[in-house]
Amino acid sequence: MKIIDLSKTIQYNAGDPFFMKVRIKHKPHRKARWLIRYLGLPFRLFPKNFIGWADDTIQQMGVHATTHLDAPWHYAPTSEGKPAKTIDQVPLEWCYGDGIVIDMKHKADFEAITVEDIQQFLSKNNLSLKPGLIVLIKTGRDKYMGTKEFFERGTGMSAQATAWLIDQGINVMGIDQWGWDLPLRYMVQKAKESGNAELFWEGHLVGRDKEYCHLEQLTNLDALPYQGFKVALFPLKIKGASAAPARVVAIMD
C-alpha cells in the first residue's frame, strides 16, 4: 500500500493574505519542567534524562487557512431548503471513497472550468463518473503555495460545472488552488465592471440549491494517476463550523 499526502503543511507563510495567516508557537521541552514542578513533582523525582515534554500552541489559524473541507453551512444558512450542514454534521461516508483526478492544468488564469471541459477530459481519457466518487480538480496552481500569487492566480469552477458534478452523484470534490471559484479579487472586479450579481462566488453558491462539499488548497495531485486510488479526507470535528482543516491522502494498493 502507498499513501500519498495531498495536504498543505500547516505553517506560517509570509505571502499569505492577513485572513489566511497561520501562527504557531513552539514550546521547547524545558518549558514543561516548571509546569510539572508546579503540579507537585520535585525535580529529584523526574525520570532520568527527562527534560520535559514539547508542546505547541496554534495562536492563529482560520478554518479556511490551509487544506480544508468546506461544509454546506459555508455557502449559505440553508441547502436544498433545509438547514445547511456544519462541518461536524458532514457524513463520514462522504469522506472516504474512490478518487478520480480531472486534469485542468491547461486552463488559463481567470478562465472558468466548464461542463464541456470536464466532459471532454473524461471522454478523451475513457473515464467515467459514478455516485460517491471523490473528484479532484488538478490546476497545477499549488506551485504558488506560500507566495502572494497563490491568492491572486488560478482558474476556477463555474456554477454549471459544479452543478453538473453534483448531478452525477458527486458529494465531495476538491481543487489544488486557493479556492473553488475564480480568484476572489478577480470575481469582485468583474462583478463591479459588469453589474452582474451572478458573477461573484458562483461555484460556492451552487450549494444553496444542491448539497455538496468541496476541498480547497490540495497539493501534490501530479503524484496521482487519473484513477485507481482511494481518498481519505476526514476534517476536524469542530462544532458548528463552516469548514475544518483536513489531512487529505490518496491510498493506492
Q: What per-residue confidence (pLDDT) applies to 37? A: 87
Q: Domain holding 125: CATH number?
A: 3.50.30.50
Q: Is residue 222 part of a domain?
A: yes
241 is in which domain, residue-wise? 68-252
The span from the CA of 93 to the CA of 132, in Å, is 9
90 shares a domain with 44: no
**pTM for this predicted structure:** 0.95
173 shares a domain with 78: yes
Q: Is residue 199 part of a domain?
A: yes
229 shares a domain with 122: yes
Q: Is residue 148 part of a domain?
A: yes
131 shares a domain with 55: no
Output b/e per residue, 46-83; b: 16+ Cβ within 10 A: eeeeeebeeeeeeeebebbbbbbbbbbbbbeeebeeee
44 shares a domain with 93: no
Record the cell numbers describing residue 117, joined without a space. 471541459
214 shares a domain with 151: yes
The span from the CA of 216 to the CA of 223, in Å, is 17
Domain stops at, among 60, 81, 106:
60
106 shares a domain with 52: no
Which pLDDT tens digit goes with each residue over 28-50? 999 888 888 888 999 899 999 99
Q: What per-residue confidence (pLDDT) applies to 38? A: 87
Which pLDDT tens digit goes with each residue over 104-126? 999 999 999 999 999 999 999 99
Q: Is residue 242 part of a domain?
A: yes
242 shares a domain with 175: yes
Which pLDDT tens digit goes with each residue over 231-241? 999 999 999 99
Question: Does residue 42 sit in helix, strand or coil?
Answer: coil
Helix (H) or strand (E) holding 215: strand 213-216
Q: Is residue 18 part of a domain?
A: no
99 shares a domain with 39: no
DSSP code string of 189-210: HHHHHH--TTSTTHHHHGGGTS
244 shares a domain with 176: yes
40 shares a domain with 80: no
